Amino acid sequence: MAGKPCLLSSRPGIVIFRCMNDMISYFGYGSLVNDRTRAEGSIAVPGRLTGWRREWRIAGKTPYGGVCSLSVRCDAASEVAGLMVHEHARGLPALDEREWRYERRDLPDGAFRPDDPAAGTVTGFVYTARAEHSRWGDADHPILQSYVDCVLAGFFSYWGEAGVREFVETTDGWHVPIRNDREAPFYPRAVSLSDGERALFDATLREVGACWL
């Protein structure tokens, strides 16, 4: 999208943008919340996206096997925690390649509400599942533990334990089994965790009835 913001000034807790044609803005609600997975130099603003709900509902074959991934669906009664990310437009082809099972959907003005009102309001796009990939996972297309770990580590870094619990409690699809690949991860953007993070993530998942293969 053209006319997206570029960083004008920043100090702790405050980010101010002005419009520039060489930037893109998009809302990340899964692995894109983890700073270790995004393009160098990207700027992230934490907040909430209204009118959407997160779910484990992209299933199919990938270069690392049959897996189930995150998506979002329209839901007027819900909101999704995540990041509005700003980066140079030259990164869009790589981002589209990374999200090849998704399509871009423009967001209406005011859909994103930053945690810090001083950050202002910014529009952008969000990646949603392509119709041919939109279905629940199963034992042949499980959620990868290494993917869940990457996502939860991102939420933990921005919102702490409360962010981890919010993600788990507001995401549909925990009936899809999880493949425990933590020691030999299949997910290409796997991250390392502390013992405390592992214990927190596993305990929180058990509270919503998550099951492992």
Average pLDDT over residues 94-105: 96
Nearest to 173 by CA among 125, 141, 127: 141
Question: What gap in Å lies between CA 92 and CA 37, rounded to an integer?
Answer: 14
**pLDDT class of 122 with cuts at 50, 70, 90:** confident
> Residue 6: its pLDDT value, please?
44
Phi/psi for 147 (5° steps) reads -75, -50
> Residue 21: its pLDDT value, please?
64
> Residue 123: its pLDDT value, please?
84
Please, is 86 exposed, middle or buried when counting C-beta atoms within 10 Å of its C-beta (0-12, 13-18, 19+)? buried
Question: What gap in Å lies between CA 93 and CA 128, rounded to an integer?
Answer: 16
Q: Looking at the predicted structure, is the pLDDT value of residue 51 above 80?
A: yes
> Residue 10: its pLDDT value, please?
38
Superfamily (CATH H level) for 4-207: Gamma-glutamyl cyclotransferase-like (3.10.490.10)
Specify the pTM: 0.89
Calculate the average pLDDT of the chain: 90
Average pLDDT over residues 199-211: 97
Q: Looking at the predicted structure, is the pLDDT value of residue 16 above 50?
A: no
Listed range (99-103, 120-124, 204-208) with the worst mean pLDDT: 120-124
Listed range (27-31, 42-46, 117-121, 137-141) with the worst mean pLDDT: 117-121
- The angle, 0 to 180 degrees and rounded to 10, between the axes of the packed helices 195-207 and 145-169 is 60
**pLDDT class of 9 with cuts at 50, 70, 90:** very low
Q: Looking at the predicted structure, is the pLDDT value of residue 117 above 60?
A: yes
Average pLDDT over residues 67-83: 97
Q: Looking at the predicted structure, is the pLDDT value of residue 171 above 60?
A: yes
Nearest to 18 by CA among 50, 43, 49, 40: 43
Average pLDDT over residues 53-81: 96
Q: Looking at the predicted structure, is the pLDDT value of residue 119 above 90?
A: no
Question: What gap in Å lies between CA 131 and CA 133, rounded to an integer?
Answer: 5
